[in-house]
Structure 1
Amino acid sequence: MAAAGGMVGLSKLAQESGLALPTIHRLVRTLVDLGYVRQEPSRQYSLGPRLIRLGESASHLLGTWSRPHLTRLVDAVGESANLAMLDVDQIVYVAQVQSRHSMRMFTEVGRRVHPHCTAVGKAVLAHLPPDDVQALLQRTGMPAQTEHTITDPAMFAQVLDRVRVQGYAMDDGEQEVGVCCVAVPVLGTTNPLAISVSGPAPRMTNEVVQRAVPLLHRAAEELARELAP
């Protein structure tokens, strides 16, 4: 239902799930009674309000589980560490531990951004099917956040190829001028996640990035094991 944009008919649900229509109808009616799904005047069904509470609880738990890993990254690299998730067509930041520097990057938990202009977004998209990535980019339109934002789908596809080869993604002023970020994916989890280190561009030197990458991979692998379904 979420993948269909939040609203879908019973026949489509039956087709996508492979379940019989009477089974789908019974399951959906139960979800309606519990408040997780609601029936629209069009007779289609949409996500219900009780899912908001579930989502908030899951996000809080994810932030709690990831915090020790983010803290170790901050201690080792000296810059802010973030955990982000792909939610439909946007990247949402679900956890952060800030740098101890007086001048630091602050990304509030819950903030939503376009994936094409962030390191975490590139890290996630690089491990999705190319057709799904192109469809997402068509829906979002790839707006330019700064003069450095990549807005050409073909060029962006080349960037994702490079991300897959080198094992990490970079954002150098593409979301915010003067901010640099390096990220790796958290593979094998139910939801597409990425973990990153970000800071002011003058401090995020190549030496810092190369030191951060193996630490990010280690944190991503440890977190993936904890979140494995």
Structure 2
Amino acid sequence: MESNYSGRVSADLMDGRGEQVVHGGPKFRSVRRVFRILDLISEHGEGMTAKQLAREIGTSLSNCYYLINILADEGYIEKLPQCGGYRIGRAVSQLYENTRSDFDAHIEPVLDDLARRSQRHAYAAILSDGEMTVTQVKAPPRSPPVGVVEGFHGASHALALGKVLLASMGSEYVEAYIEGHGGLVAFTHRTIVQPAMLHAQLNKVRMVGLATDYEEFAPNLCCVASPVLGEENRVQGAIGLSTSIKHIRKEGHHLVVMIQRAAEEASALIK
């Protein structure tokens, strides 16, 4: 990956599908719907019921249940009886565990320590198939689950981790990303949807080596992230921390200092 990062700051927080047609008959449509179900549950979490999933993937409720049951039987999703929704299952995490990269293996101790010291969720991510993919999530003891889980893929422009990775690829790559998605999808009213504004923020990310998001992907979710650099200072991935909107102003400076220090430690381990 191309890297244009030139420095770091300690407290400068930045404020902020279309689907491809697949030919081949019903069998191929079912396969595509299975992956779309996983995408929707990953993006929207527990709020997606079977009826909503059926509507989103364009099939009958009975056929949707058939696909859901297959995914549940194989452990790729789990039903949540209390709310009628679903969440990504352990089998997805296991797939990533079985294909762990050297990047993840090397930085895992740093991420564990970061979660413990910050008492916040710590994340690692890489760029995969043009999108940010979360490869690790480390949680402090007795912490509630958060909206971005291990294996999450997408929403690169709306998350600090994704901004770090997009910034590392340069402006032409970002333009192709925007065009490939038919524009910038709004996940909340705070999501950056103007290309010029995204380019401006990514330019700042390149200069300071720090990205933020304030409820741009999900309500009450705020994140800070920094790049992990390999040989020749090329960006290999990103690590980040999350907190709530209530705490970001109070602890933002502290989180920035911690994430930048951890990014330096992780970079030293992979160089």
Is this a same-fold pair by TM over 0.5? Answer: yes
Cα distance between partner residues in 2 of 1:134 and 1:180: 25
Cα distance between partner residues in 2 of 1:64 and 1:110: 16
TM-score of the pair, normalised by structure 2: 0.58
Cα distance between partner residues in 1 of 2:102 and 2:172: 32
1:90 aligned to 131, 137, 142, which one?
131
Cα distance between partner residues in 2 of 1:114 and 1:128: 16
Cα distance between partner residues in 2 of 1:77 and 1:225: 20
Seq. identity, %: 29
Give 3-state SS (helix, strand or coil) of 1:165's partner.
Answer: helix
Q: Which residue of 2 aligns with 1:155?
A: 197
Give 3-state SS (helix, strand or coil) of 1:59's partner.
Answer: coil
Q: Which residue of 2 aligns with 1:225?
A: 268
Q: Which residue of 1 aligns with 2:242?
A: 198
Q: Deviations over 1:100-140 (max 9, x none)?
A: 35445253211112210010011122222211121122112
1:70 aligned to 111, 114, 123, which one?
111
With CA pairs under 8 Å and 6+ residues apart, which has the higher RCO, 1 or 2? 2
2:174 aligned to 123, 133, 138, which one?
133
Displaced runs of 4+ in structure 1, greater than 6 A?
none
Relative to structure 1, the CA distance from residue 207 to residue 76 in structure 2 (aligned partners, 3 Å threshold; closer, same or farther) is farther
Cα distance between partner residues in 1 of 2:184 and 2:240: 21
Q: Which residue of 2 aligns with 1:4?
A: none
Q: Which residue of 1 aligns with 2:225?
A: 183
Structure 2 unmatched runs, 5+:
1-94
Structure-to-structure mapping, 1:1-229, within 5 angstroms: 57-59=98-100, 62-100=103-141, 102-140=143-181, 141-188=183-230, 192-203=236-247, 205-228=248-271
Cα distance between partner residues in 1 of 2:125 and 2:108: 12
Relative to structure 1, the CA distance from residue 110 to residue 213 in structure 2 (aligned partners, 3 Å threshold; closer, same or farther) is same
Q: Which residue of 2 aligns with 1:33?
A: none
Match of 1:148, as an amino acid? R
Question: CA-atom RMSD, angstroms?
Answer: 2.5
Relative to structure 1, the CA distance from residue 144 to residue 222 in structure 2 (aligned partners, 3 Å threshold; closer, same or farther) is same
Cα distance between partner residues in 2 of 1:144 and 1:167: 25
Relative to structure 1, the CA distance from residue 183 to residue 191 in structure 2 (aligned partners, 3 Å threshold; closer, same or farther) is closer
Relative to structure 1, the CA distance from residue 200 to residue 99 in structure 2 (aligned partners, 3 Å threshold; closer, same or farther) is farther
Deviation at 1:79, TM superposition (A): 0.6
Q: Deviations over 1:36-83 (max 9, x none)?
A: xxxxxxxxxxxxxxxxxx976442654443221112212222110000
Relative to structure 1, the CA distance from residue 61 to residue 107 in structure 2 (aligned partners, 3 Å threshold; closer, same or farther) is farther
Residues paired across the two proteins, number: 175
Give 3-state SS (helix, strand or coil) of 1:112's partner.
Answer: coil
Structure 1 unmatched runs, 5+:
1-53
Cα distance between partner residues in 2 of 1:99 and 1:200: 15
Q: Is the 8 A contact 1:98 1:106 kept in 2?
A: no
Give 3-state SS (helix, strand or coil) of 1:73's partner.
Answer: helix
Deviation at 1:173, TM superposition (A): 0.7
Cα distance between partner residues in 1 of 2:241 and 2:162: 13
Relative to structure 1, the CA distance from residue 138 to residue 94 in structure 2 (aligned partners, 3 Å threshold; closer, same or farther) is same
Match of 1:126, as an amino acid? A
